[in-house]
């Protein structure tokens, strides 16, 4: 299964790594778009985390223009994509406990 052309080079590499590491017959051709979405979500979270490591991005809270505290945008970005990553991973069969319980 080939990665979609719209993925970045790093995302294409990760797509292939996941395919190589996945159990045989876990991922089918129809799952390519789900896997691509998983890779994009994973990459977005990783990039936000890297940006948060910098001096400018290390704060969890920031002040709005009206001086009230709010959650930092990079933290919001990560929080937005984490549920997507978990759901896509479950749909792809990446968790043995998915659907249990």
**To the nearest 5 percent, what fractions of the chain are helix, strand and coil?**
55, 5, 40
Task: Kindly state whether residue 68 falls inside one of the protein's structural domains.
Answer: yes
- The structure tokens listed for 101 are 């319980």
- The structure tokens listed for 77 are 């970005």
Tokens 């979405």, located at residue: 37
Which residues are 61's β-sheet partners?
71
Task: Kindly state whether residue 2 falls inside one of the protein's structural domains.
Answer: no
In tens, the pLDDT along 3-59 reads: 999 999 999 999 999 988 887 777 777 789 999 999 999 999 999 999 988 887 788
Task: Kindly state whether residue 24 falls inside one of the protein's structural domains.
Answer: yes
Tell me what the mean pLDDT of segment 66-74 comes to: 91
Task: Kindly state whether residue 97 falls inside one of the protein's structural domains.
Answer: no
Domain of residue 64: give its range: 9-91
Degrees, nearest 5: CA angle 31-34-36: 105
Task: Kindly state whether residue 96 falls inside one of the protein's structural domains.
Answer: no
Task: Kindly state whether residue 98 falls inside one of the protein's structural domains.
Answer: no
Task: Kindly state whether residue 60 falls inside one of the protein's structural domains.
Answer: yes
Q: Are 16 and 3 in contact (CB under 8 A)?
A: yes
Task: Kindly state whether residue 3 falls inside one of the protein's structural domains.
Answer: no
pTM of the model: 0.81
Give the total number of structural domains in the chain: 1
């Amino acid at each position: 299964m080939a990665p979609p052309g719209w993925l970045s080079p790093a995302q294409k590499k990760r797509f292939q790594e996941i395919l190589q590491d996945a159990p045989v017959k876990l991922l089918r051709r129809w799952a390519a778009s789900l896997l691509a979405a998983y890779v994009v979500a994973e990459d977005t979270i990783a990039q936000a985390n890297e940006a948060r490591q910098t001096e400018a991005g290390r704060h969890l809270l920031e002040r709005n223009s009206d001086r009230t505290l709010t959650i930092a945008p990079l933290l919001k970005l990560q929080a937005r994509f984490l549920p997507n990553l978990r759901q896509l991973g479950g749909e792809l069969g990446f968790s043995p406990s998915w659907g249990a319980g």
